[in-house]
Structure 1
């Protein structure tokens, strides 16, 4: 079925043939869902690595192995799986296992006689077994080609202090974090696997006793310019504003103070709200919505503030069972903007990143 879908329903274009993509999938259970994901992203010119959690059920492991056997030329199952534990270094260890397999197996394919593939893949995208793509392969290719070797990390943040970070980093590196999802160039993955300067090993050692290194190590390499990470960028650590949700220390069109001592945030005037959140806004069980309306009524652009203030002030909904159950807590540290907005698409990230860096001249030679 997968091969039929690839050949008949979505014919491969020349652009796709010339721009292979690698996918690493960290999977644990629910084979049917993983099969659906694989059917959606499979193309014969791409490369795929499955890391099956060491603690997965034996029947699940067999099914993944059988699936991989159907595609011996471009699908591999990691032979030394890691027992992945949430929030530990084991997540990155599993990611690196697949990165190594994608590099090693590609070299093997390129050196066969005749070679099974004519060129290396261009970008690697890491996935779990519980996702489905929003883009076709061709759409991904069109977006990734515009990166011209730059990497994409989700929601980069400068961290001044955070409990789960080491107090100091090797080589005096600045602290950054992102999510555990990233799009990395072939050169960046090669750098991580080969570790020519040993900086990757030093960061692994520094983060091994700490939580959530998968949200930090890649971001630290990406935004510390001096490391020489391929596709990395210089990110200033004193930036005060960014697009998306922002912590606002002072803004002319904001009230001087907010009801109940709430912190000031703003976003765009567009949002996607759950049923429970809309119910909270309409019923206003604690009267906080009414108080914010009253506070902003003489001011401009309340549509960019009131929802964001409710969303990111943890106390508004944490202490009230009928409150906005799906809000986020944003840390306000040293007046540094700490965004937690998740970009829905790679193109949305590109739009944000291109604007921010073009305004500050920090993009370097990877400018779009």
Structure 2
């Protein structure tokens, strides 16, 4: 591929610093490096915890009276006009989003993952205000690689969520642009990796489909109607290749699953693992055998009812259990007393698409992994979580709010953006190639694949 001009990092470092200075009292009261250095202890933590961000005031000021909104968006948030490296230019990525509010947080998020070779699809909730829709359409006017569409009215845990997200996959799959890997982003996510780091990680994934797997409770099945294939629970956040995207939007069996899930509870959490985890029934590129993975992750064997597709003995309580039999596997699971080791490029779990902490009163590990608050049983990270967040091996963190200890958001945002602008090429992501997905695709026997910690079955 012909070499391209690269972005001027000195200029973008200057833009980033100016952006952080626009956050009132941020530089004076939030010392991110001190918080990380002292592992979230001391006076720096107290000051950062107290700092607040008036995002509504920031929004009103930003969108008021701009003659050239496109120039304002690009120059204020530092959207890159050129790639940061030739390697990134040759391996474009794709992102899908479903959004409904807080345009400033979306602009910050996009500026953290944006490069001109990447492709973006933003589905806007039909219930969103006209003002918000207008603000989102600025993006499609300003950037040729950002597509914005208004979907139907979206309601939490209903099929409308899946409809909006899958609509973006359909759009992206039909593009002529040669993007390689897709990620879903929530409006309250932030990347834990730079674009270059993600590019190299995706190369190691080698076409594998990264989705969480868990038993789907019986009450999430459609009453009186059997599913076309066995169903699995997962997260809305998944990562998969262009080949997977092109396959799923045209495969009849995938569409049968999509239609069956209409009217079920939280179908967005039943889709990815189901269409990717039934490799014997759907020939998904990069797919896997979720039943087999489950056995190796838990030491339990649960046959699937061939008529209903329901996993035997699957109940809602299994979603929150931490006790699994100490069954001897080809790769025995660690004892519970063994510490799980991870770092920035050393994943501890097979599921790397998203770092999310769910509330589980029976698991001190979960409660002690969240220093913010729990909203809908999912952690909104706080400033004491920062030292962990900057070292997590997953691709993105979910979730961070401007209204809850916002210093967490901006410290993480600034940290990852600065790391990208350093243009460091000297890092190793080989550990991602050792994950079950790429290993099995490469022909390794499942008996020789390391599935690791007993807690991995709880992908979240």
Which TM-score bucket, shorter chain as reference? 0.5 to 0.7
1:136 to 188, 194, 218: 194
1:225 to 263, 279, 298: 279
For the residues of structure 2 that align with 1:350 and 1:242, how far apart are their CA atoms? Answer: 22
1:157 to 209, 214, 223: 214
Describe the shift of the 1:313–1:246 C-alpha distance in structure 2 as closer, same or farther (beyond 3 A).
closer
What is the Cα deviation at residue 250 of structure 1? 4.5
What is the Cα deviation at residue 201 of structure 1? 2.1
Deviations 1:283-337 (A, max 9, x none): xxxxxxxxxxxxxxxxxxxxxxxxxxx966379x99xxxxxx96x99xxxxxxxx
What is the Cα deviation at residue 175 of structure 1? 2.6
DSSP-derived class of the 1:269 partner: coil
Number of the residue aligned with 2:11:
none
For the residues of structure 1 that align with 2:362 and 2:327, how far apart are their CA atoms? Answer: 18
Number of the residue aligned with 1:71:
143
Deviations 1:140-183 (A, max 9, x none): 00100111111111x31244x53112366444x22321111101
Deviations 1:29-51 (A, max 9, x none): 00111110011111000001111
For the residues of structure 2 that align with 1:54 and 1:139, how far apart are their CA atoms? Answer: 34
Are residue 236 (structure 1) and residue 291 (structure 2) matched? yes
DSSP-derived class of the 1:184 partner: strand
DSSP-derived class of the 1:76 partner: strand
What is the Cα deviation at residue 234 of structure 1? 1.9
Are residue 60 (structure 1) and residue 110 (structure 2) matched? no
Describe the shift of the 1:71–1:242 C-alpha distance in structure 2 as closer, same or farther (beyond 3 A).
same
Question: How is 1:292-303 mapped onto 2 (pairs within 5 angstroms)?
Answer: none
Are residue 353 (structure 1) and residue 436 (structure 2) matched? yes
Question: How is 1:1-368 mapped onto 2 (pairs within 5 angstroms)?
Answer: 5=78, 7=80, 12-72=84-144, 74-78=145-149, 80-104=150-174, 106-107=175-176, 119-153=177-211, 155-159=212-216, 161-166=217-222, 169-171=226-228, 173-195=229-251, 198-226=252-280, 227-237=282-292, 239=295, 241-242=297-298, 246-250=322-326, 266=336, 268-269=338-339, 313=362, 345-346=394-395, 353=436, 360-361=446-447
Residues 6 and 12 in structure 1, CA contact (< 8 A), matched pair in contact too: no
Describe the shift of the 1:99–1:234 C-alpha distance in structure 2 as closer, same or farther (beyond 3 A).
same
Q: Which has the larger radius of gyration?
A: 1
| Greater RCO (Cα-Cα under 8 Å, separation 6 or more) | 2
What is the Cα deviation at residue 130 of structure 1? 1.0
Q: Which residues of structure 1 form unaligned runs of 5+?
A: 108-118, 253-264, 273-309, 319-324, 330-342, 364-368
Describe the shift of the 1:150–1:271 C-alpha distance in structure 2 as closer, same or farther (beyond 3 A).
closer
Describe the shift of the 1:166–1:140 C-alpha distance in structure 2 as closer, same or farther (beyond 3 A).
same
Describe the shift of the 1:54–1:349 C-alpha distance in structure 2 as closer, same or farther (beyond 3 A).
farther
Residues 288 and 437 in structure 2, CA contact (< 8 A), matched pair in contact too: no
- Please give the TM-score of this superposition, normalised by the length of structure 1: 0.64
DSSP-derived class of the 2:120 partner: strand
For the residues of structure 1 that align with 2:129 and 2:437, how far apart are their CA atoms? Answer: 44
Deviations 1:9-61 (A, max 9, x none): x9521111111001111111001111100111110000011111100011111
Number of the residue aligned with 2:67:
none
For the residues of structure 2 that align with 1:190 and 1:122, how far apart are their CA atoms? Answer: 11
Describe the shift of the 1:203–1:97 C-alpha distance in structure 2 as closer, same or farther (beyond 3 A).
same
DSSP-derived class of the 2:188 partner: coil
For the residues of structure 2 that align with 1:90 and 1:268, how far apart are their CA atoms? Answer: 42
What is the Cα deviation at residue 241 of structure 1? 3.8
Residues 169 and 203 in structure 1, CA contact (< 8 A), matched pair in contact too: no
Residues 247 and 266 in structure 1, CA contact (< 8 A), matched pair in contact too: no
DSSP-derived class of the 1:345 partner: coil
What is the Cα deviation at residue 356 of structure 1? 9.2
What is the Cα deviation at residue 132 of structure 1? 1.2
Describe the shift of the 1:181–1:362 C-alpha distance in structure 2 as closer, same or farther (beyond 3 A).
farther
